[in-house]
Structure 1
Amino acid sequence: MTRISADNPEISVEDFEELADNAPEGVKLGIVDGRLVVKPGPISVEDFEELARKAPETVRLELINGKLEVKPVPDMPHGAIVMWLLRQCMQQRPELALYPEQGLTVKTYRAGRARADGALAPIDHFITQPGEWADPDGVLMTVEVTSYDCDTGRRDRVDKRDGYAAAGIPVYLLIDRDSDTLVVHSEPEEGIYRLVRTYFYGDTVDLPSPVHITLETEKLKDYSQA
């Protein structure tokens, strides 16, 4: 039975109906406990990409660890944090750009599709890549800022971390708003980040090679919910 959770639905009834109407042939969508699911599942990469292209403007889809995900719409502090980081990157590494909401192919054999809150790469790095989902080769760092939803622990702290490591992205920066921390993952090897360091808001954070950016994070206290 299709049900929309009244507590914290990840997709509205109207957006779900539009998405279901435009789903590829053979793909059946449902809502269980407020979450978008494929019945019986799983969904192929090809069908996912077609579904993502046809999704309503307010719905941003990802394919993480073989599961269809709806990326939460960012709140104002979330956007402010991304812009704060973007300015830091531009000031210290003007030859690089932090691309917000960049689609990337991730996970083993590029079978996943993630929308990074930020992807640090050389200027114009993505312009020669067709389509919405870019190859992660050449990306120096991915960034995720946690959202206040029930899936953020699994999605940002586990599934995306593992996907970015498997893709060989050198640095993954997680800005965790639940704990007011920055978690720097580096040295990917055999699908895991071998080095993980945690910093608190207000600390000086040296992002390792090949990023080589130093973050003064006192400003992040202005965006804290504590």
Structure 2
Amino acid sequence: MTATAHEPTPTQEELLLESFLALETPEGFKAELIEGEIIVSPAPDGEHEDCLSTVIRQVLRESRVDMDCSGNKGLLMPSGGRCPKNHAIPDATFAPRALRLFRGAPSWMPCDGVAMVVEVTSTKPDGDRIAERHCYARAGIPLYLLVDRDQETVTLHSDPSATGGADYAQAHSTAYGKPLALPGPFAFVLETADFA
């Protein structure tokens, strides 16, 4: 009798997580595990990166608290139901510089200390609008900024604690070209004219 005869049969969730972690994506692609679904996305286009760069520059220049920013940082978050933990890679992740959150962090780090995540819509905008928003709320990330290129809006989602982490309780949206106030620790007005 072999040793494998006594090993428990892996669950569907364990097999899914194992398959996800073993993925080898083509260069420039990223893979995420969101609510039990493996999502592979191609490299972003130039318009996506221009919007993202606009946000990052303003946050690093204007924020009242000195911020660190990581692009494409893997975040490990709780999932809903019986799915394995969510593995999301926001377009940008901000944390107070004093925390040195990214130094020595593993590829998939917990969200403790993250102040805001940013997504710019691309090939699957509903994922950014709904599934990932719920993931970030469930993880307790205080602010989620969504630049929606299809709708030409910028939306700040906030206050996940008011819903017990099911979603963000507040959503403030503005059309491209109009300012959007970011609360503390950022405490400045984001200019969106460059998105148009």
Q: Shorter-chain TM-score category?
A: 0.7 to 0.9
For 1:126 and 1:162, the matched residues in 2 are separated by 23
Shift of 1:157: 0.5
- CA deviations 1:111-153 (Å, max 9, x no partner) are 01001001011333211222x1111111100110001x3x321
Give 1:80's aligned amino acid: D
Task: Report the more deviating stretch, 157-166 or 102-111.
Answer: 102-111
Task: Report the more deviating stretch, 180-189 or 121-130.
Answer: 121-130
Q: Does residue 70 of structure 1 match 2:45?
A: no
| Conserved 8 A contact 1:107-1:162 | no
Q: Which residue pairs with 2:117 in the alignment?
A: 142
Q: Does residue 58 of structure 1 match 2:34?
A: no
Shift of 1:98: 2.3
The secondary structure found in structure 2 opposite 1:77 is: helix
For 2:129 and 2:35, the matched residues in 1 are separated by 13
Q: Which residue pairs with 1:31 in the alignment?
A: none
4+ runs of 1 displaced by more than 6 Å?
Answer: none
Q: Does residue 172 of structure 1 match 2:144?
A: yes
Shift of 1:208: 1.9
Shift of 1:202: 1.3
The secondary structure found in structure 2 opposite 1:138 is: coil
- CA deviations 1:167-199 (Å, max 9, x no partner) are 000000000001110011000021210011111
The secondary structure found in structure 2 opposite 1:125 is: coil
Q: Does residue 99 of structure 1 match 2:70?
A: yes
RMSD value, Cα:
1.9
After TM superposition, the score normalised by the length of structure 2 is 0.82
Of 158, 161, 171, which aligns to 1:186? 158
Structure with greater strand share of residues = 1
| Conserved 8 A contact 1:107-1:164 | no
Unpaired segments ≥5 residues, structure 2? 1-11
For 2:56 and 2:28, the matched residues in 1 are separated by 23
After TM superposition, the score normalised by the length of structure 1 is 0.72
Shift of 1:91: 0.6
Query: Where does 1:106-125 land on structure 2 (aligned, <5 Å)?
Result: 106-108=77-79, 111-123=85-97, 124-125=100-101
For 2:96 and 2:41, the matched residues in 1 are separated by 25
Q: How many residues align?
A: 175
Higher-RCO chain (CA-CA 8 Å, sequence separation at least 6): 2
- CA deviations 1:57-112 (Å, max 9, x no partner) are 23310000110001232100101111111110111137202211111112338701
| Conserved 8 A contact 2:176-2:195 | yes
For 2:88 and 2:148, the matched residues in 1 are separated by 18
Give 2:120's aligned amino acid: V
Unpaired segments ≥5 residues, structure 1? 1-40, 222-226
For 1:99 and 1:78, the matched residues in 2 are separated by 16
The secondary structure found in structure 2 opposite 1:57 is: coil
